[in-house]
C-alpha cells in the first residue's frame, strides 16, 4: 500500500497515543508465567505485541483480547506447554529475544522464527548468555532465526552485556526467574528499565545498583491489573512534526516518561524545543505526563555515547528533524541501527538524499546539515515502520507530494498513525 503525504501549514490539536509497545510485551509475558489473571488496559495496538500474544497462546496461555483490553490467565512459573508448531514472532525483535529467555527455562524444546526482516537480525547476543545458563540453542549460522531452544534446569549467572540492549538484558532476567539464586546483568550504559519495573509489580525481588540489575530466581509471581502508558516512541513523530512546522501547537496526553525512554524529549529540549511536561503521576510504576509542544527553531548539535540507547528508536525521526535545524545534527555510536528492522542508517541516508537533502554517512551514524529544503519523493521504507513514519513527517515539510511505499508497515508499532497524522494536519 502507498500513502501520499502533502505539505501541511500547521500541526494542531490533540493526539491520543497507543499503549507503549515495550511495556505491553513485558506485561503479557510476565502475566503468562504469573499465577492468576493479569488484566491490561490500553494494551498496545502494535502488530508486534499481537505477535507476542499469539506466541503465548501457542504456549498454552489463555489470552482474551477486547478492543485495547487484554486478559491473560497466568499458568504459573511451570505451566507453559510445548507448542504444536514453530512460534511466529512476526517482525518483532522484542518478542523473539525476550521469549527466548522464557523458553530457556522450559522443560521442552521449541522453535521460534519470524518474517524475512527478523530472520536477518542477530541473536548471538541472547544465545551466548542463555547457553551459559544451561539452555541449548540452535540458530542459522549460530546467529540468526529460526532458533530452536531446548530449555531445562538453568543456573544463575552474572553477565556483562557487550551491547547496551534492553531486549537482551530482559531475556536474561526472564531466564533468571527459572534459575535458583540470583541472576545479574551489568549494562555498558543504561537502557529502558520496563522489565525491572514490571517484575516488581508482579512480586519479583529485583535489585538495581548502578548499571547492575539482579533478580532472584523462582519467585511467586501474582497476576496484576495494569494500565499501559502512551508510547513515547510513537509520540516522537508528532513532537518533531509540531516542532518543525511553524505555527503549530499540539497536546499529547498520558505519555510514558520512563527515564530510559524520555531521551527524545531531553534532546529536543536541549536543542531549543518548546515542550512543556505536566506530570500525570504513575501507572504501574511507570511515570506518565501530558506534553504540550509548540513550534520552535532548533539549534542542532551532536548525539553520541551514553545518550544513544535512550533515543535508539527515535534516531530516524531526529535525522529528519536535523534538516530543519540551524547547525545540523551529527549522530555517532549508533551502529546498532544497522541491525534493526532495516539498516536504518542506510535507509535514512538514501531517503533523505532522495528528498534532495545532503547527508554524510558513517559506519556508526550520520551527519545531516541544517537549513535544508526537502522536496517530495518516493520513500523506500524497506518494510520498516519507523522509516515509514519518520518520512511521512518529512513529507509534511517538503515541497510537493511524498509517496510512502509499503506504508502499511507502520502498523508494526502504530496502526492508527496515518489517521492520527491526518487529524492534526491541514493540507
Ligand atoms: C526494546 C529495546 C530496543 C528497541 C526496541 C524495543 C525493548 O532494542 O530498539 O524497539 O522493548 O526492550 P535493543 O534492546 O535491541 O536495543
CA 6 to centroid of ligand 1, rounded, Å: 31
Is the Cβ atom of 94 under 6 angstroms away from ligand 1?
yes
pLDDT in tens, 22-57: 999 999 999 999 999 999 999 999 999 999 999 999
CA 127 to centroid of ligand 1, rounded, Å: 17
The sheet with strand 365-368 has its strands ordered as: 301-303, 329-331, 365-368, 360-362
Candidate of 22, 44, 196 to mutate for ligand 1, largest count of ligand atoms within 8 Å of Cβ: 22
Maximal CA-CA distance, the chain: 61
**Ligand 1 atom closest to Cα of 312?**
9
H or E segment at 159? strand 158-160
What pLDDT score does 284 carry? 87
* Exposure b/e, 100-116, CB count within 10 A at least 16 = b: bbbbbbbeeebbbbbbe
CA 340 to centroid of ligand 1, rounded, Å: 9
Is the Cβ atom of 44 under 6 angstroms away from ligand 1?
no
Q: What is the mean pLDDT of residues 149-157?
A: 95
CA 322 to centroid of ligand 1, rounded, Å: 23
**Ligand 1 atom closest to Cα of 164?**
16
Rg (CA), the chain: 21
Please list the residues that pair with 227 across neighbouring strands.
41
The 8-class DSSP code of residue 323 comes to T
pLDDT in tens, 258-271: 999 999 999 999 99
CA-nearest residue, atom 4 of ligand 1:
313
Could you say which of 313, 333, 364, 384 is catalytic? 313
Is the Cβ atom of 232 under 6 angstroms away from ligand 1?
no
CA 359 to centroid of ligand 1, rounded, Å: 26
What pLDDT score does 152 carry? 86
Is the Cβ atom of 165 under 6 angstroms away from ligand 1?
yes
Q: What is the mean pLDDT of residues 326-342?
A: 98
67 pLDDT more than 90: no
CA 92 to centroid of ligand 1, rounded, Å: 10
The rounded percent of the chain whose pLDDT value lies above 70 is 100
What pLDDT score does 271 carry? 98
State how beta strands 402-404 and 378-379 pair. Answer: parallel
362 pLDDT more than 90: yes
The rounded percent of the chain whose pLDDT value lies above 90 is 98
**Surface-to-core class of residue 2, CB atoms within 10 Å of its CB (0-12 exposed, 13-18 middle, 19+ buried):** exposed
Is the Cβ atom of 22 under 6 angstroms away from ligand 1?
yes
CA 165 to centroid of ligand 1, rounded, Å: 6
419 pLDDT more than 80: yes
88 is catalytic: no
pLDDT in tens, 223-242: 999 999 999 999 999 999 99
Phi–psi pair at 280, nearest 5 degrees: -120, 30
d(CA 4, CA 181): 55
What pLDDT score does 107 carry? 96
The whole-model pTM stands at 0.98
The 8-class DSSP code of residue 62 comes to -
CA-nearest residue, atom 16 of ligand 1:
165
Residue 68 pLDDT level (bands cut at 50, 70, 90): confident
427 pLDDT more than 80: no
Candidate of 98, 165, 228 to mutate for ligand 1, largest count of ligand atoms within 8 Å of Cβ: 165
**Ligand 1 atom closest to Cα of 163?**
16
**Surface-to-core class of residue 66, CB atoms within 10 Å of its CB (0-12 exposed, 13-18 middle, 19+ buried):** exposed
What pLDDT score does 85 carry? 97
Q: If you average pLDDT over every residue of the chain, what do you get?
A: 97
d(CA 241, CA 16): 15
CA-nearest residue, atom 10 of ligand 1:
313
Amino acid at each position: 500500500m502507498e500513502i501520499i503525504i502533502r505539505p501541511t501549514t500547521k500541526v494542531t490539536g490533540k493526539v491520543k497515543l497507543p499503549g507503549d509497545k515495550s511495556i505491553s510485551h513485558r506485561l503479557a509475558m510476565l502475566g503468562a508465567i504469573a499465577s492468576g489473571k493479569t488484566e491490561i488496559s490500553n494494551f498496545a495496538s502494535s502488530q508486534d505485541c499481537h505477535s507476542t500474544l499469539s506466541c503465548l497462546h501457542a504456549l498454552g496461555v489463555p489470552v482474551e483480547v477486547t478492543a485495547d483490553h487484554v486478559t491473560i490467565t497466568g499458568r504459573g512459573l511451570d505451566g507453559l506447554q510445548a507448542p504444536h508448531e514453530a512460534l511466529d514472532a512476526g517482525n518483532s525483535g522484542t518478542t523473539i529475544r525476550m521469549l527466548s529467555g522464557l523458553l530457556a527455562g522450559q522443560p521442552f524444546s521449541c522453535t521460534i522464527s519470524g518474517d524475512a526482516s527478523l530472520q536477518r537480525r542477530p541473536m548471538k547476543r541472547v544465545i551466548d548468555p542463555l547457553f551459559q545458563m544451561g539452555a541449548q540453542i540452535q540458530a542459522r549460522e549460530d546467529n540468526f532465526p529460526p532458533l530452536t531452544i531446548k530449555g531445562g534446569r538453568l543456573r544463575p549467572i552474572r553477565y556483562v552485556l557487550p551491547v547496551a540492549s534492553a531486549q537482551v538484558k530482559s531475556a536474561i532476567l526472564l531466564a533468571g526467574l527459572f534459575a535458583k539464586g540470583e541472576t545479574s546483568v551489568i549494562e555498558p550504559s543504561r537502557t529502558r528499565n520496563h522489565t525491572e519495573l514490571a517484575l516488581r509489580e508482579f512480586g519479583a525481588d529485583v535489585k538495581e545498583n548502578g548499571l547492575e540489575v539482579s533478580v532472584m530466581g523462582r519467585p511467586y509471581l501474582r497476576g496484576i491489573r495494569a494500565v499501559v502508558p502512551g508510547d513515547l516512541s510513537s509520540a516522537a513523530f508528532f513532537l518533531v512534526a509540531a516542532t518543525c512546522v511553524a505555527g503549530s501547537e499540539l497536546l499529547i496526553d498520558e505519555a510514558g516518561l520512563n527515564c530510559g525512554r524520555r531521551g527524545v524529549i531531553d534532546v529536543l529540549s536541549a536543542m531549543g524545543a518548546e515542550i512543556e511536561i505536566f506530570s500525570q503521576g504513575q501507572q504501574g510504576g511507570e511515570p506518565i505526563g501530558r506534553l504540550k509542544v509548540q513550534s520552535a527553531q532548533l539549534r542542532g548539535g551532536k548525539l553520541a555515547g551514553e545518550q544513544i540507547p535512550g533515543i535508539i528508536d527515535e534516531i530516524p525521526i531526529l535525522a529528519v528533524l536535523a534538516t530543519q535545524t540551524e547547525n545540523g545534527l551529527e549522530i555517532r555510536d549508533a551502529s546498532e541501527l544497522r541491525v534493526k528492522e532495516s539498516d536504518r542508517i542506510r535507509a535514512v541516508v538514501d531517503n533523505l538524499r532522495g528528498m534532495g537533502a545532503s547527508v554524510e554517512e558513517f559506519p556508526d551514524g550520520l551527519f545531516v546539515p541544517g537549513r535544508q529544503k526537502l522536496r517530495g519523493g518516493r520513500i523506500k521504507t524497506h518494510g520498516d515502520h519507523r522509516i515509514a513514519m519518520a518520512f511521512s513527517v518529512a513529507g509534511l515539510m517538503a515541497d510537493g507530494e511524498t509517496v510512502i511505499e509499503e506504508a502499511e508497515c507502520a502498523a508494526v508499532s502504530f496502526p492508527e498513525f496515518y489517521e492520527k497524522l491526518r487529524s492534526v494536519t491541514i493540507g
